[in-house]
């Protein structure tokens, strides 16, 4: 059963010699300031729990209205903040919309405060000042000292349990605030209901239901304390109508059943006698019974240190599947990126397989683990392909989760942007089709017919985002969608993914239909202009059109100049449409070299000067494949130039080191692939398009037991160009390498040079896949 044969000994040796080094090179604070929207807290790979400090999520006064700063605090943390509100258990990694921050704990001492206070007046509430000097963040572990209370906080997790260890100052009784009103995206009234039961003096159960970005998010919990509770109570900051039972019970003090809409509770302990308090917080989406099972299975009878070691071991194991050589900063960036690709998607089921489905019923997972947090507009590009390569079991289960989602959807839609048994349908396209097609193409154990049915059904929900018009007209007209042009481009690629899957399923009828739909990108191309351009229902193009303007021109998070290149499945068709190779190259070159006037990004929260290279915006995903498009032209060496520029400029081992939202690992996965020297331009095909390695050595250990090495001795900013390539010792002329090539194991050697080899990769037979070449 052990599939690790060839690579086994090597892996053992590598692990023994370098694994500790790998985990130590991860720097979780990369991207925690500014736009990266990552968090520094503790989690295990793909765990349900992301236990991390929230430095602020409280509404701010904006034009007289208190509103949460929802964009900056997507992950609850900004490095430049000087106070910590508390430690909550669910965080999205690198997203551009905020939510979660569920079940916040905060240790305090002294006077009881049940409100969080504010940034400007921290003493008004229970929050505390802190210094980054006391902060330690490694995969699976986080530590900080809370200066206002002199409490040392240590955090670790299992997949479903967050573990806190608080060390209170000597001789002082400690308190824990459990704030069920706290949250990220925490507008007034987000919490619909919260409930706590004090089951005994060391165990709580409870839940809360929120109406946030996830329309209805049910989080159940079980919380155990290592010391008995001495005293407890709560305040509900919103009046409850019926409170007749207040006459029967001392409900505010030591009353074991607390409920309300704005419920903040506290628990006091005799830490004067025993300063260390360990708290285990198990979550479940199904029930408190499920949370108790999770607590029992994953964290009972193990101490904080033991669990922290386990969390660390899991990361060591996962991170050890890639070894690289580079400068310390490059290695930190690489392993941190790899780390960031394994946070979301996240497990979303109990240890016994029960999970909340999209229909809000509790289902029993059979034959797969259920996952959630699918930021698919971002992650179909490189995050899911990377997981398909390095973590095929998890990637396959993610696809199963998407298929079940589709089956539970009243619309019959695959996930678009889904989390916590809800879809918020953020961004555009139905890119789950890409992930399904890619998984099937790469041999995942998926029922192809079931998958194809889910894909076809999704693409025919005629009331969703212009699909009806798209089917009738061949494009989404500008009347029905403000992002009509980009959506049309995205649908066309997603339809190609269905076409591709239908071919695998031997379903010619569907294949033929979707082959047609995959060519719809042509319908919104203005050949006179040479760019994609939105059309009205009557066929006329939008007037007064600006190819450099991102918003208001029929595109989303990318202007026409960038987005017009979004035909990953038919680059040769696109080249023709753009007026031939010369014009195509001119547009590509100009994209990277133009001066983009400030007016095109000054009011845009997603684009700053720092994330621009010419007019190329790396912080937003639609451009991610563009530098690789040179591979289809006579000048593939230009890819080699530009990817290194992007790597150098957009990724830094620094708190502001990400040039945009990490987007659930997509930015990081781009980094991993590009560092290796190739990129999945068209997920669904088995091809990775060659660029140039960023690092001199990358060694992949696959789950099948094989190893694949990428070597580029002497590679540097200067020696960035590929002179020649050898695969397993033989000269290799193609502009791509296949999934199977990698899985077979072997060595891909790049001879690097400080001048481009302009002859390599220009033969037609060496070019990557393009749909219209099939005939």
Q: Cα–Cα distance between 573 and 493 in angstroms, integer?
A: 13
71 part of the interface to its own copies, by CB under 8 A: no
Rounded to the nearest 5°, which phi and psi values hold at 709? Answer: -110, 140
Contact 416, 426 (CB under 8 A): yes
Q: Please count the helices (runs of H) and the strands (runs of E) in the chain.
A: 19, 39
595 part of the interface to its own copies, by CB under 8 A: no
Interface residue with its own copies among 16, 65, 463, 528 (CB under 8 A) is: 463
Q: How many CB atoms lie within 10 A of CB 599?
A: 9
211 part of the interface to its own copies, by CB under 8 A: yes
Q: Which stretch binds its own copies (CB under 8 A): 12-20, 285-293, 443-451, 512-520?
A: 285-293
176-205 positions binding its own copies, by CB under 8 A: 185, 187, 189-190, 192-193, 195, 197-199, 205
Least Cα distance to 181 among 84, 104, 273 occurs for 104
Nearer to its own copies, 60 or 197 (CB): 197
Interface residue with its own copies among 18, 115, 172, 287 (CB under 8 A) is: 287
What the block records as the tokens of 166 is: 């608080």
Q: Cα–Cα distance between 636 and 651 in angstroms, integer?
A: 23
80 part of the interface to its own copies, by CB under 8 A: no
Q: Cα–Cα distance between 409 and 400 in angstroms, integer?
A: 14
254 part of the interface to its own copies, by CB under 8 A: yes
CB of 72 to its own copies, least distance (A): 17
Cis peptide before 345 (omega within 30 of 0): yes
Q: Cα–Cα distance between 435 and 386 in angstroms, integer?
A: 11
CB of 253 to its own copies, least distance (A): 9
Q: Cα–Cα distance between 184 and 207 in angstroms, integer?
A: 17
216 part of the interface to its own copies, by CB under 8 A: yes
Least Cα distance to 570 among 296, 767, 380, 277 occurs for 767
Q: Which stretch binds its own copies (CB under 8 A): 37-45, 308-316, 355-363, 515-523?
A: 355-363
CB of 5 to its own copies, least distance (A): 45
Nearer to its own copies, 254 or 306 (CB): 254
207 part of the interface to its own copies, by CB under 8 A: yes
Contact 722, 752 (CB under 8 A): yes
Nearer to its own copies, 314 or 486 (CB): 486
81-120 positions binding its own copies, by CB under 8 A: 97
CB of 205 to its own copies, least distance (A): 8
Helix (H, G, I), strand (E, B) or coil at 622: helix
* Count of chain residues binding its own copies (CB under 8 A): 52
DSSP H helical segments within 422-483, as ranges?
Answer: 432-441, 448-458, 467-473
460 part of the interface to its own copies, by CB under 8 A: no
248 part of the interface to its own copies, by CB under 8 A: yes
Interface residue with its own copies among 17, 134, 361, 740 (CB under 8 A) is: 361
Q: How many CB atoms lie within 10 A of CB 478?
A: 22
Contact 120, 183 (CB under 8 A): no
Measure the CA dihedral 115/119/121/124, to 10°.
10
CA angle, 359 then 281 then 164, to 5°: 145
424 part of the interface to its own copies, by CB under 8 A: yes
Nearer to its own copies, 361 or 508 (CB): 361
Q: Which stretch binds its own copies (CB under 8 A): 86-94, 234-242, 587-595, 617-625?
A: 234-242
CB of 471 to its own copies, least distance (A): 16
Bridge partner residues of 699 (DSSP): 323, 709
Q: Cα–Cα distance between 562 and 486 in angstroms, integer?
A: 10
CB of 247 to its own copies, least distance (A): 7
Q: Cα–Cα distance between 563 and 410 in angstroms, integer?
A: 32
Interface residue with its own copies among 327, 360, 634, 740 (CB under 8 A) is: 360
Nearer to its own copies, 306 or 361 (CB): 361
CB of 341 to its own copies, least distance (A): 26
- Measured CA to CA in angstroms, residue 502 lies from 444, 454, 634, 669, 684 at distances of 16, 12, 32, 28, 12
633 part of the interface to its own copies, by CB under 8 A: no
Q: Which stretch binds its own copies (CB under 8 A): 359-367, 438-446, 543-551, 666-674?
A: 359-367
- Measured CA to CA in angstroms, residue 719 lies from 138, 250, 590, 695, 758 at distances of 33, 75, 24, 11, 15
Nearer to its own copies, 295 or 574 (CB): 295
Q: Which stretch binds its own copies (CB under 8 A): 131-139, 251-259, 267-275, 399-407?
A: 251-259
Rounded to the nearest 5°, which phi and psi values hold at 746? Answer: 145, -160
Interface residue with its own copies among 55, 181, 288, 620 (CB under 8 A) is: 288
Q: How many CB atoms lie within 10 A of CB 49?
A: 30
Nearer to its own copies, 115 or 287 (CB): 287
What the block records as the tokens of 356 is: 């909340």
Written in H, E and C, the secondary structure of 298-340 is: HHCCCCHHHHHHHHHHHHHHHHCCEEEECCHHHHHHHHHHHHH
Nearer to its own copies, 216 or 549 (CB): 216
62 part of the interface to its own copies, by CB under 8 A: no
Nearer to its own copies, 83 or 481 (CB): 481
Nearer to its own copies, 187 or 237 (CB): 187
Nearer to its own copies, 444 or 664 (CB): 664
Q: Which stretch binds its own copies (CB under 8 A): 35-43, 156-164, 284-292, 488-496?
A: 284-292
Site string for its own copies, 470-509 (x = CB under 8 A): -----------xx---------------------------
Nearer to its own copies, 463 or 528 (CB): 463
Written in H, E and C, the secondary structure of 644-665 is: HHHHHHHECCCCCCECCCCCCC
Nearer to its own copies, 341 or 418 (CB): 418
Q: Which stretch binds its own copies (CB under 8 A): 16-24, 132-140, 241-249, 439-447?
A: 241-249
HSE-up of 525 (CA within 13 Å, CB side)? 19
Give me the residues that bind its own copies (CB under 8 A), please.
97, 185, 187, 189-190, 192-193, 195, 197-199, 205, 207, 209, 211-213, 215-216, 240-242, 244-245, 247-250, 254-257, 259, 261, 287-289, 359-362, 410-411, 423-426, 463-465, 481-482
């Amino acid at each position: 059963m052990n599939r690790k044969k060839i690579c086994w000994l090597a892996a053992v040796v590598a692990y023994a010699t370098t694994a500790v080094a790998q985990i130590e090179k991860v720097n979780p604070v990369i991207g925690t300031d500014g736009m990266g929207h990552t968090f520094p807290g503790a989690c295990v790979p793909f765990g349900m729990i992301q236990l991390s400090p929230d430095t602020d999520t409280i509404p701010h006064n904006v034009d007289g209205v208190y509103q949460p700063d929802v964009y900056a605090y997507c992950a609850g943390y900004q490095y430049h903040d000087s106070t910590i509100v508390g430690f909550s258990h669910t965080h999205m990694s690198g997203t551009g919309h905020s939510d979660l921050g569920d079940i916040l704990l905060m240790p305090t001492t002294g006077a009881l405060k049940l409100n969080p206070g504010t940034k400007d007046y921290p003493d008004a509430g229970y929050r505390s000042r802190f210094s980054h000097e006391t902060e330690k963040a490694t995969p699976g572990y986080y530590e900080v000292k809370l200066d206002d209370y002199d409490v040392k906080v240590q955090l670790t997790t299992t997949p479903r349990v967050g573990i806190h260890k608080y060390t209170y100052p000597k001789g002082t009784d400690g308190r824990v605030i459990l704030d069920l009103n706290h949250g990220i995206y925490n507008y007034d009234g987000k919490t619909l209901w919260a409930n706590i039961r004090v089951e005994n003096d060391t165990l709580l159960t409870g839940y809360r239901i929120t109406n946030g970005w996830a329309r209805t998010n049910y989080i159940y919990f079980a919380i155990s304390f290592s010391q008995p509770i001495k005293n407890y109570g709560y305040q509900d900051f919103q009046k409850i109508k019926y409170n007749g039972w207040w006459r029967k019970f001392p409900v505010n003090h030591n009353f074991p059943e607390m409920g309300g809409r704005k419920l903040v509770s506290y628990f006091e302990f005799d830490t004067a006698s025993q300063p260390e308090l360990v708290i285990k917080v198990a979550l479940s989406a199904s029930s408190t019974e499920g949370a108790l099972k999770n607590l029992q299975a994953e964290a009972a009878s193990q101490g904080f240190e033991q669990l922290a070691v386990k969390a660390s071991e899991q990361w060591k194991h996962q991170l050890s599947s890639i070894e690289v050589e580079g400068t310390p900063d490059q290695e930190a960036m690489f392993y941190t990126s790899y780390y960031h690709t394994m946070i979301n998607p996240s497990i979303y089921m109990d240890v016994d397989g029960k999970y909340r489905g999209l229909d809000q019923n509790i289902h029993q997972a059979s034959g797969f683990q259920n996952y959630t947090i699918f930021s698919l507009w971002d992650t179909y590009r490189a995050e899911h392909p990377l997981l398909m390569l390095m973590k095929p079991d998890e990637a396959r289960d993610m696809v199963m989760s998407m298929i079940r989602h589709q089956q539970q959807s009243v619309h019959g839609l695959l996930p678009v942007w889904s989390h916590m048994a809800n879809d918020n349908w953020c961004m555009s396209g139905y890119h789950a089709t890409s992930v399904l097609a890619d998984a099937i193409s790469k041999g995942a154990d998926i029922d192809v017919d079931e998958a194809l049915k889910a894909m076809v059904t999704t693409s025919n929900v005629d009331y969703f985002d212009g699909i009806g018009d798209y089917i009738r007209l061949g494009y989404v007209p500008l009347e029905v969608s403000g992002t009509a042009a980009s959506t049309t481009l995205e649908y066309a690629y997603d339809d190609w993914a269905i076409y591709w899957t239908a071919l695998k399923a031997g379903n010619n009828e569907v294949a033929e239909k979707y082959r047609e739909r995959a060519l719809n990108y042509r319908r919104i191309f203005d050949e006179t202009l040479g760019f994609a351009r939105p059309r009205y229902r009557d066929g006329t193009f939008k007037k007064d059109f600006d190819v450099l303007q991102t918003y208001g021109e029929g595109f989303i998070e990318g202007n026409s100049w960038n987005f017009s290149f979004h035909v990953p499945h038919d680059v040769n068709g696109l080249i023709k449409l753009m007026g031939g190779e010369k014009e195509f190259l001119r547009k590509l070159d100009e994209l990277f070299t133009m001066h983009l006037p400030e007016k095109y990004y000054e009011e845009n929260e997603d684009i700053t000067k720092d994330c621009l290279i010419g007019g190329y915006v790396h912080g937003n995903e639609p451009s991610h494949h563009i530098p690789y498009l040179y591979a289809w032209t006579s000048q593939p060496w230009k890819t080699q130039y530009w990817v290194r520029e992007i790597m150098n400029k957009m990724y830094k081992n620094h708190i502001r080191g990400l040039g945009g939202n990490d987007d659930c690992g997509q930015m990081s996965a781009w980094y991993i692939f590009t560092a290796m020297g190739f990129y999945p331009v068209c997920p669904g095909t088995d091809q990775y398009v060659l660029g140039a390695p960023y690092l001199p050595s990358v060694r992949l250990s696959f789950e099948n037991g094989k190893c694949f090495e990428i070597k580029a001795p002497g590679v540097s900013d200067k020696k960035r160009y590929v002179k020649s390539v050898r695969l397993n010792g033989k000269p290799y002329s193609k502009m791509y390498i296949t999934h199977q090539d990698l899985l077979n194991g072997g060595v891909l050697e790049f001879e690097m040079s400080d001048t481009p080899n302009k002859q390599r990769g220009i033969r037609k037979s060496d070019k990557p896949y393009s749909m219209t070449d099939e005939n």
